[in-house]
Amino acid sequence: MEKHFNLSDHGIAFATREKGCVVGEEIKNSLISINATDTLIINGKGVKAVSYSFMDELLARIMDAWARPEHADKKIALSEWEEPILQAFKTTQVQRHLTLNNLCILKSSDRKTTGKARTRSVKEHQFV
């Protein structure tokens, strides 16, 4: 089963560590609330800008959840993230030396359009 978290529900531009803490805590709580076999899909559609400070705090919260043994195997997929936003995520990951084994990035080419646009099942993707 998939649970969805839409970043755009919290704004279209994120610049502060404080906002990263707030949004990161919500993502962390969403990750904690899913079953071990479920995937949390974080949708970035509509987000236009993020700062590295925001992303640093966001990733810190995600890593805090994954650090707990009971949540370590849960999966996250990033969906519909614009390239500059995804680059901030990747740069922060590298700067923090974070290994995200249970993370999948869904590319726009992974989408099907049959009347309604929807992503393919996350099970079809390799987690990196």
Domain boundaries, the chain: 2-124
Spatial CA neighbour of 72 closest among 33, 34, 102: 102
Spatial CA neighbour of 97 closest among 63, 52, 74, 51: 63
The 10s digit of each residue's pLDDT in 9-57 is: 999 999 999 999 999 999 999 999 999 989 999 999 999 999 999 999 9
The 10s digit of each residue's pLDDT in 77-89 is: 999 999 999 999 9
CA distances to 21, 67, 82, 86 from 51, in Å: 13, 24, 14, 11
Question: What is the dotted CATH code of the domain comprising 2-124?
Answer: 3.30.750
Spatial CA neighbour of 62 closest among 109, 29, 39, 88: 29
